[in-house]
């Protein structure tokens, strides 16, 4: 099916020049749309608000009083230390798995001791990065006996830092 298109021939009467009414209508429509776009793009100022008086608070900085002087240390203070014979009798047991694997390291323990040299508490200050080595060092330290810190001839509760080395067997 074909359709024949009719050719519309224009008369010479329609060719009298430009259609000024149509041009004016299109120009007015474009101008209206441009004006609407400019109104949308124009910055809008918020309505003016009433100025409120600000509340002002004055702050006076006062220097803190100087700290009291520290009491002088007694002349008869002797620091605590591990009893070498106790450490030799109860050495840390090297964990068998770490011994087979050749894992070694150093554990630094903080040990709290009472006035008689007995262990009250054991904590790890610096780990060997191996939990089993840290546990073995702590278990051994709980069995050690210490020389307590002496103040004015009597033993006092104190803390001591003890490094424990684990060297893999060769």
The answer to whether residue 74 scores a pLDDT higher than 60 is: no
Mean pLDDT for 4-14 is: 55
Residue 145 belongs to some domain of the structure: yes
Residue 84 belongs to some domain of the structure: yes
Give me the long-range contacts of 82-91 (CB less than 8 A, separation at least 24). Answer: 82/144, 82/146, 82/147, 82/160, 82/162, 83/117, 83/144, 83/145, 83/146, 83/147, 86/143, 86/144, 86/145, 86/146, 87/144, 90/140, 90/143, 90/144, 91/140
The answer to whether residue 76 scores a pLDDT higher than 50 is: no
pLDDT at 3: 64
Condensed to tens digits (0 to 9), the pLDDT of residues 113-162 reads 888 888 899 999 999 899 999 999 999 989 888 888 888 888 888 888 88
The answer to whether residue 28 scores a pLDDT higher than 90 is: yes
At 7, the pLDDT band (50, 70, 90 cuts) reads low
Q: What angle do CA 31, 37, 41 make, to 5 degrees?
A: 140
- 25-29, 45-49, 84-88, 149-153: the lowest-pLDDT one: 84-88
Which is more confident, 14 or 50?
A: 50
CB atoms within 10 A of CB 58: 4
Residue 2 belongs to some domain of the structure: no
Residue 59 belongs to some domain of the structure: no
Residue 45 belongs to some domain of the structure: no
Residue 105 belongs to some domain of the structure: yes
Mean pLDDT for 9-14 is: 53
pLDDT at 11: 53
Range of the domain at 143: 77-166
Burial of 113: CB neighbours in 10 Å, binned 0-12, 13-18, 19+: buried
Q: Find the helix or strand (DSSP H, E) in which 161 lies.
A: strand 158-166
Residue 86 belongs to some domain of the structure: yes
Condensed to tens digits (0 to 9), the pLDDT of residues 91-116 reads 888 888 888 888 889 999 998 988 88
Mean pLDDT for 53-74 is: 77
The answer to whether residue 14 scores a pLDDT higher than 80 is: no
The answer to whether residue 167 scores a pLDDT higher than 80 is: yes
Question: What's the pTM value of the predicted model, to 2 decimals?
Answer: 0.51
Residue 92 belongs to some domain of the structure: yes
Domain count, the chain: 1
**Could you tell me the CATH number of the domain that includes residue 96?**
3.30.2420.10
């Amino acid at each position: 099916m074909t359709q024949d298109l009719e050719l519309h021939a224009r008369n010479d009467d329609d060719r009298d020049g430009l259609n000024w009414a149509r041009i004016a209508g299109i120009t007015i429509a474009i101008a209206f749309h441009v004006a609407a776009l400019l109104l949308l793009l124009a910055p809008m100022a918020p309505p003016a608000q009433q100025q409120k008086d600000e509340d002002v608070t004055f702050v006076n900085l006062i220097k803190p009083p100087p700290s009291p002087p520290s009491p002088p240390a007694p002349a008869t203070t002797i620091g605590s230390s591990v009893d070498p014979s106790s450490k030799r009798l109860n050495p840390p047991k090297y964990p068998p798995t770490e011994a087979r694997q050749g894992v070694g390291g150093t554990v630094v323990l903080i040990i709290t001791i009472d006035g008689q040299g007995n262990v009250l508490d054991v904590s790890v200050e610096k780990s060997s990065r191996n939990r089993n080595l840290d546990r073995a060092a702590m278990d051994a330290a709980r069995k050690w006996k210490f020389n307590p810190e002496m103040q004015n001839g009597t033993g006092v509760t104190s803390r001591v830092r003890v490094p424990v080395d684990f060297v893999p067997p060769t």
